[in-house]
Amino acid sequence: MGYAASPSLPQTGCLVESNPLTCIASVLCAPSLPASALVASSTPLPNLAPRISPLLSPQDGLLPAAFMVGLLASSPIFAEASKHHNAFRLIGIGLAVWTAAAVGCGLAPGFVPLLLCRMAVGVGEASFVALAAPFIGG
């Protein structure tokens, strides 16, 4: 099954058989175009796909796996640490780790740094999984 650009929007260089992530990237990575060009103009957007290196299939599968490793390895650590330290402080530490890791994912120059930052996102999120549930009113 292929993907195509919406007929009501200007063409983005996305062909019927192209990768949907390439189509999204070609639209999102065009900051020099005014917003009106995205809606009212019939001028095609520049195709930025050659500038974006696609992930290989095994690499694409490793990113969510790295997140789960970070999450599942860190959740028991945060749960045990909450017995000895303030839970809100641990949640704050997790939020700081999560924020730094999310920024790192966006700035990662290659796959290995992206993989490590994705694992750190899981570590940061583990603090919420392990500690926030008792504080949520219901």
The tens digit of pLDDT for each residue in 37-81 reads: 445 445 565 654 455 556 677 888 899 999 999 999 999 999 999
Q: What integer pLDDT is reported at residue 45 of this predicted model? A: 55
- N-term to C-term CA, the chain: 43
Greatest C-alpha distance within the chain? 62
DSSP 86: -
pTM, two decimals, is: 0.60
Q: Checking phi first, is residue 66 left (phi over 0); if not, alpha (psi -120 to 50) or beta? A: alpha
pLDDT tens digits, one per residue of 18-31: 445 454 445 444 44
Q: What integer pLDDT is reported at residue 106 of this predicted model? A: 92
**Is residue 102 a contact partner of residue 68, using CB atoms and an 8 Å limit?**
no
Tokens coding 19 = 């990768």
Neighbours of 17 (CB within 10 A): 9
pLDDT tens digits, one per residue of 101-136: 999 999 999 899 999 999 999 999 999 998 988 888
Helix (H/G/I), strand (E/B), else coil: 28: helix
**Is residue 12 a contact partner of residue 23, using CB atoms and an 8 Å limit?**
yes
Q: What integer pLDDT is reported at residue 135 of this predicted model? A: 81
Evaluate if residue 85 carries a pLDDT over 80. Answer: yes
